[in-house]
């Protein structure tokens, strides 16, 4: 994969525009979910989460059944993030 870089500016509402050539090379499109991890102050890791057709598919992939209890969605999000980070060769030390 070729190295593609570009600049984006953080807007007041927390939005960043990712340059077109970066989106194309990364294979991301509108509606994709991006996981952000702070690597160190001023450095972020951004990972596009796997695309799923439904919440049921997400729950099936990550081993949860039924509707989670209150606060359970946060834990499911943590589990998904951990799975994705392990796929990048990084570990989220808060959940290790």
For the ranges 18-27, 40-49, 83-92, the maximum mean pLDDT occurs at: 18-27
pLDDT number for residue 48? 84
Q: Predicted confidence band at 41 (pLDDT cuts at 50, 70, 90)?
A: very high
In this predicted structure, what is the pLDDT of residue 10?
A: 93
* Model pLDDT, residue 94: 46
Phi, psi of 46 (to 5 degrees): -115, 125
69 phi-psi bin (left φ>0, alpha ψ -120 to 50, beta other): beta
The residue extents of the domains of the chain are: 31-95
Q: What is the pLDDT of residue 8?
A: 92
Whether the pTM exceeds 0.85: the reply is no
Kindly report the three-state secondary structure assignment for every residue of the chain.
CCCCCCCCCECCCCCECCCHHHHHHHCCCCCCCEEEEEEECCEEEEEECCCCCCHHHHHHHCCCCCCCCCCHHHHHHHHHHHHHHHHCCCCCHHHC
The average confidence (pLDDT) of the chain is 75
Q: What mean pLDDT do residues 3-28 have?
A: 93
**Is 80 exceeded by the pLDDT of residue 59?**
no
Q: So what's the pLDDT on residue 96?
A: 42
């Amino acid at each position: 994969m070729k190295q593609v870089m570009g600049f984006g500016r953080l807007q007041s509402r927390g939005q960043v525009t990712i340059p077109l050539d970066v989106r194309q090379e990364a294979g991301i499109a509108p509606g994709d979910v991006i996981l952000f991890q702070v690597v160190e102050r001023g450095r972020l890791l951004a990972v596009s989460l796997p695309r799923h057709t439904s919440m049921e598919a997400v729950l099936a992939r990550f081993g949860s059944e039924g509707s989670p209890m209150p606060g359970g969605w946060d834990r499911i999000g943590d589990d998904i993030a951990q799975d994705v980070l392990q796929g990048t060769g990084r570990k989220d030390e808060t959940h290790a």
